Chains A and B, each alone.
Chain A
Amino acid sequence: MELLSGADMLIRSLQDEGIEYIYGYPGGAALHIYDALFRQDKVKHILVRHEQAAVHMADGYARATGKPGTVLVTSGPGATNTITGIATAFMDSIPMVVLCGQVASTLIGEDAFQETDMIGVSRPVVKHNLSVRHPEEIPEVIRKAYYIASTGRPGPVVVDIPKDMTTPNERFEYAFPKKVKLRSYNPAIRGHAGQIKKAVDMLLAARRPIIYAGGGVILGKASDQLTELVRMLGYPITNTLMGIGCYPATDKQHLGWLGMHGTYESNMAMHHSDLILCVGARFDDRVTNATEKFCPGARIVHIDIDPASISKTIDADVPIVGPVDAVLKEMIALVRESKARPDAEALSAWWKQIEEWRAFHGMRYENNPEVIKPQEVIETLWRLTNGDAFVASDVGQHQMFAAQYYKFDKPNRWINSGGLGTMGFGLPAAMGVKLTHPDDEVLCVTGEGSIQMNIQELSTCKQYNLPVKIINLNNQALGMVKQWQDMNYESRHSQSYMESLPDFIKLAEAYGHVGVRIDRKEDLEPKLKEVLAMKDKLVFVDIYVDRFEHVYPMQVARGSMKDMWLSKTERV
C-alpha cells in the first residue's frame, strides 16, 4: 500500500474518480491541497477571478457534458463566495462537488481567521454535505460525494476539509473504494410496472394529450427515448425552459416551451388537454401560473426520479417514481405491444385546434426598420450558427429571447439558470462549456446588467484562451425589471436604468480581447458573420437593441395557463 498525505490522497481520489478539471481559487486553508495539485498533471486546475465564477464554470461543464463539475476553494470568504453558484446548481439539479478548505479542526468554533461554518451555511442549498474528520477518510468521502452528486436527482455536494486533514508530513495508506455503501440512500432504478401500464393505457385512450417534458429528461439522458415515444404516438410536446433541447425544437410536433413566457400554442394546448404526461418536470410556479386554475380538464401522469417532486404543487393521478430513461423505455415497449391505438379522429381534431393556435400567434414580434430587435439578433445567430451552437445565457429579457428564438434540436446545448435565475451565470458557464468543447461555437447571450456581475472572468478567458462569443443585448436598462415596472408599476423605473455603462469595447480590449459594437440594423448580419469568423478570439459584441421591447407572450399574473399578454396591447 502507498502512503500519502491527506492532500495527495484528495488529488489522487479525484484522479481515480476520473475528474478532468477543477475550477477554483487558492487560499490559506487550501494551500496543502494546492501544493498537491502542483505536483501532478492529470487533474487540470482553472484559476478563476472570483469563486462564484468557479462554481458556474463547473456548472456549465456539467450541463454540457452530463458529468459532475468540481470546484476547489479556501475557507471563509472563498467558501461563502461559492454559495450563489451552489444554490444555482441545486435549483437546477446539477451534479457538482465543491471542495472547501476549512481552518484546522483544532481551531473550529474559535472564530479563527477565515473560519465560516460552511456545512451550516451551505446546508439549505446542497443535496448533501460532508466534512472530513480524519485524513484516512478522504478517499471514501470523495467517492461518496461524487456518487451522491451524480445519482438519483443530481445536485451539488459540499466537502469541508479542515487544514490539518491535509498536512503534508502525515501519511496514510491510500485505497480508493470501489463501491459506496450508503444504507439510507437508494435512488429508484426503475418505475413501478403497474403504474407504467396504467399510464400507457391512459395515454392511448386520451383525446387531447400533451407531453410536458422538463430538465429531468436532459439530466436523465433520455432525449432519445422521449423523442421515440412522442413520434410513435404522434402527440404534441412542449417542454420547460430547463427542458429545452430534450426534443428537437424544429420538429412539427414540438409546440415550443411553456409557462410564463412560453408559446401561445403550448400554453393553450396544456390548458385544454385531457391528459398531461409530465416527464422530469416539476410543475414550477413559472409553468403552472395559478395552481387552482391549472389545466382543469387534464388527468396527470407524472414521471420523476424524485418522489418529493410528485404532487408537490399539482396532484398527479398516476405518479411514477423512477429514472426517466428506464420508464420511457418501458412505455415504448408497452405502446408497441398494446392493441389499443390513439383515436385517430380525436387526435386529428386536436392537432387541427393546435394548428389554429399556432397560426394565431406562434412566435412573433413586431419588427422595426430603424431599430435592432433583440429577437432578430437571436434569430440571426441561430441561422448563422446552423442552430448548432452551445448557448449559455444570463438572466433577464435576453434569456427569454434566446430561449424563444434559438431553436435547439439537441439536448445539453441550452445552458441557463432556470430555477434560481442567477445573473452573472452566463459568462463563466459559457467558459466551462468552451473548455471541453473547443471546436464548437459557444455563445454567451447576456445583457449589460448580467455581464457586469462576473465581468472579471474576461481575464480568466485570456489566461486559458477561451474564445467564447459574448452577445450583449444592450438595451441600457435592466430590461426584465423595467418590463415589470412598465406592466405593474405604471412605468416607474425604480433603479432599473444603469447610468454610466462602461465602454464594453475598450473593456474587452483592456482584457486582451476583441470588442465589436453593432448599433445599425444593416450591420447586424454582416458584423455577426465577421464575429463568428474570428474562431480563436473572444469577441465581446455590444449590440444596441430596442430599449422598449418587452418579452411576450407573458402569462397574466394569478391567471390560468391560457391567460396571456401577447403584446403590449393584446390580452387573451
Chain B
Amino acid sequence: MRRIISVLLENEPGALSRVVGLFSQRNYNIETLTVAPTEDETLSRLTVTTTGSDKVIEQITKQLNKLIEVVKLVDLTEGAHIERELMLVKLKATGSQRAEIKRTVDIFRGQIVDVTSSVYTVQLAGDSDKLDGFIQAVGTSGVLEVVRTGVSGIARGEKVLSL
C-alpha cells in the first residue's frame, strides 16, 4: 500500500543522506521525496512516499525514528490528509492543438506559465493521480518535458506535526 511519511529532520549536513541511505540499505522503496527547510530554520520537513506491506511500513517508521537526526515523523496516510504535487510540463502546441491544450489545462485547473510559437509550459498542482490524469489527457506524444516536485502532504484538521 502507498504511504506518505512526513518527517521533521534536523537541518544539518548529512541528515538527508542518512534517510536516503536507510531506504536503500534496507531495501525499502522511495517513490517520491521532497525536502525543504521549515519556518524553524533548525528543521527541515521531508516527505517521502513509499509502498510496502504494513509490516514493512512499521519497520520503515521505526528505523527512521532511530536516526538521531529524525526529530518526529508521522504516517499521513493513517488519517485524513491533503497531498499536493506540483508539475511543470512542456507541451508541443501548434495549430489546432493550442486551443485544445488550453481547454484541457483549464479543465485540470492548471495555468500556462510560458508560451512560444510552438510550445506551452503548463503548471499544474494536485495529488499525484490528477497529474497522471493530465498527462494521459494531453497524450504523451505531445509531451516534451515533465518535471514533478514529488508529494508534499499535511494532515487535515487540527493535527499538527511540530515540536
| Chain A 292-307 per-residue mask, 1 if CB under 8 angstroms from chain B, else 0 | 0000000000000011
Contacts A120-B17, A124-B25 known; A184 to B69 CB distance under 8 Å? yes
Closest to B55 in A: A311
9 residue pairs of the A-B complex, CB under 8 angstroms, read A120-B17, A123-B17, A123-B21, A184-B69, A184-B70, A185-B68, A307-B62, A307-B65, A308-B66
Partner of B68 from the list A148, A307, A308 (CB cut-off 8 Å) is A148
Tell me if A183 is interfacial: C-beta within 8 Å of chain B.
Answer: yes
From residue 26 to 71 of chain B, which have CB atoms closer than 8 A to chain A?
55, 58-59, 62-63, 65-66, 68-71
The 6 A-B residue pairs with the shortest CB-CB distance, nearest first, are: A308-B62, A184-B71, A128-B68, A124-B25, A185-B68, A307-B62
Q: Which residues of A contact B59 (CB under 8 A)?
A: 308, 312
Interface residues of A in 108-139 (CB under 8 A from B): 119-120, 123-124, 127-129, 131
Q: In the complex, what residue of chain A is closest to B8 when comparing beta carbons?
A: A184
* A306 CB to nearest chain B CB (Å): 7
Tell yes or no: A182 within 8 A of B by CB. Answer: yes
**Is the pair A184, B68 in contact by a Cβ cutoff of 8 Å?**
yes
Q: Are B63 and A308 in contact (CB under 8 A)?
A: yes
Residue ID in chain A nearest B25 by CB atoms: A124
CB nearest to A124 among chain B residues: B25
Residue with the greatest number of chain B CB neighbours at <10 A, chosen from A131, A148, A185: A185
Question: Given A119-B14, A308-B59, A308-B62, 19 other A-B contacts at CB below 8 A?
Answer: A120-B17, A123-B17, A123-B21, A124-B21, A127-B68, A182-B68, A183-B71, A183-B163, A184-B68, A184-B69, A184-B70, A184-B72, A185-B68, A306-B66, A307-B62, A307-B65, A308-B65, A308-B66, A311-B55
Interface size class of chain B, counting residues whose CB lies under 8 Å from the partner chain = 10 to 19
Query: CA separation between A182 and B10, bound complex, in Å?
Result: 10
Known: A308-B59, A312-B59. A123 touches B18 (CB 8 A): yes
Q: Across the interface, which residues of A come within 8 angstroms of B17, CB to CB?
A: 120, 123
Could you count the A-B residue pairs with CB atoms below 8 Å apart for me: how many are there?
33
With CB as the reference atom, state the residue of chain B lying closest to A155: B66
Complex Cα distance, B63 from A311, in Å, reads 12
CB-CB nearest in chain B for A308: B62
Looking at the assembled complex, report how far the CB atom of B115 sits from the nearest CB atom of chain A, in whole angstroms: 41
Least CB separation from B58: chain A residue: A311
Interfacial chain A residues near B14, Cβ < 8 Å: 119, 129, 131
Q: For chain A residues 169-209, which have a beta carbon within 8 Å of chain B?
A: 182-185
Taken together as a complex, chains A and B put the C-alpha atoms of A218 and B70 apart, in Å, by 28
Chain A contact residues, CB within 8 Å of chain B:
119-120, 123-124, 127-129, 131, 148, 182-185, 306-308, 311-312
Q: How far is the CB of A45 from chain B (nearest CB, A)?
A: 28
Query: Nearest-CB distance from A316 to chain B (Å)?
Result: 12
Distance from B66 Cβ to chain A, minimum over Cβ atoms (Å)? 6
User: Which residues of B sit under 8 angstroms from A120, Cβ to Cβ?
Assistant: 17
Report chain B residues within 8 Å CB of A306. 66
CA distance A124 to B65 in the complex (A): 15
- Bound Cα distance from A478 to B67, whole angstroms: 38
The complex places the Cα of A120 from the Cα of B20 at a distance, in Å, of 12
**Which residues of the other chain, B, contact A124 by a CB distance below 8 angstroms?**
21, 25
B158 to chain A, nearest CB (A): 23
Q: Which residues of A contact B21 (CB under 8 A)?
A: 123-124
Who on chain B is nearest to A120 by CB?
Answer: B17
Q: Which of B62, B68, B163 has the most CB of A within 10 A?
A: B68
A108 to chain B: closest CB distance in Å? 11
- How far is it, in angstroms, between the C-alpha of A560 and the C-alpha of B14 when the chains are bound? 42
- Chain B residue contacts of A127, Cβ below 8 A: 68
Residues of B within 8 A of A119 (CB): 14
A123 / chain B contacts, CB cutoff of 8 Å: 17-18, 21
Residues of A close to B18: CB separation below 8 A: 123
Q: How far is the CB of B46 from chain A (nearest CB, A)?
A: 13
Most buried by A among B21, B65, B66: B66
> For the complex, what is the distance from the CA of A127 to the CA of B68, rounded to whole Å?
8
For residue B55, which residues in chain A have a CB less than 8 angstroms away from its CB?
311
- Give the interface centre of A128, A184, A308 by most chain B CB atoms within 10 Å: A184
0/1 string, B8-20, CB within 8 A of A gives 1: 0010001001100
In the complex, what distance in Å separates the CA atom of A307 from the CA atom of B71? 16
Q: Once the chains are docked, how many angstroms separate the CA of A131 from the CA of B12? A: 11
Complex Cα–Cα for A311 and B60 (A) = 12
Q: Which residues of B contact A311 (CB under 8 A)?
A: 55, 58
- Shortest C-beta distance, B150 to chain A (Å), equals 23
- Shortest B55–chain A CB gap in Å is 7
Question: How far, in Å, is A326 (CB) from chain B's closest CB?
Answer: 20
A119 to B13, CA, bound (A): 11
Distance in Å: Cβ of A159 to nearest Cβ of chain B: 13
Q: How far is the CB of B110 from chain A (nearest CB, A)?
A: 39
B133 to chain A, nearest CB (A): 38
CA distance A306 to B62 in the complex (A): 9
The docked-state distance in angstroms from the alpha carbon of A311 to that of B54 is 11
Question: In whole Å, how far is A266's beta carbon from the nearest beta carbon of chain B?
Answer: 27
- Residues from chain B with a CB closer than 8 A to the CB of A183 are 71, 163
- Closest-CB distance, B53 to chain A (whole angstroms): 12
A182 and B65 alpha carbons, distance in the complex (Å) = 14
Tell me the complex Cα distance, A127–B59, Å.
Answer: 17
Beta-carbon nearest neighbor of B70 in chain A: A184
Q: Give every chain A residue within 8 A of B66 (Cβ-Cβ).
A: 306, 308
Chain B residues, Cβ within 8 Å of A129: 14
B126-161 residues at the A interface, CB under 8 angstroms = none
**Assembled-state Cα–Cα distance A2/B20 (Å):** 42
Query: Once bound together, how far apart are the Cα atoms of A119 and B18, in whole Å?
Result: 10
Chain B 59-90 interface mask (CB, 8 Å, partner A; 1/0): 10011011011111000000000000000000
Cross-chain contact of A184 among B10, B58, B62 (Cβ < 8 A): B10
A33 CA to B69 CA in the complex, in Å?
Answer: 28
Nearest CB of chain B from residue A440's CB, rounded to whole Å: 35
User: A568 to chain B: closest CB distance in Å?
Assistant: 37
Q: Which of chain B's residues has its CB closest to A152's CB?
A: B66
Give Cα A551 to B71, complex, Å. Answer: 47
A312 to B62, CA, bound (A): 10
The CA-CA distance from A307 to B125 in the complex, in Å, is 38
